[in-house]
Amino acid sequence: MAQDMTEKELLKMELDQLKKEVKNERQMVSKTGKEIKEYVESMAGEDPLLKGVPEDKNPFKEKGGCTIS
């Protein structure tokens, strides 16, 4: 638990973690950024908060009066 560890133990833990991370594989931002952009563009059509939803289909529309048929 972090609350019970001394500063030295915390630093050791951080060091071990950093040693592992330096070896991670990475990709260029131009490639991964492009993939994020493409994901957004592919899903944008179905995003109700982005393109809006017609009032009659919106389950959260203003509560109207009741009609008794």
Rule CB under 8 A: which residues touch another protein? 1-8, 10-15, 17-22, 24, 26-37, 39-41, 43-44, 46-50, 52-53, 58-62
The one-character DSSP state at 62 is P
CB of 3 to another protein, least distance (A): 5
CB of 69 to another protein, least distance (A): 20
Contact predicate 44/50, CB 8 Å: yes
CB of 38 to another protein, least distance (A): 10
Based on the number of CB atoms within 10 Å of its own CB, is 23 exposed (0-12), middle (13-18) or buried (19 or more)?
Answer: exposed
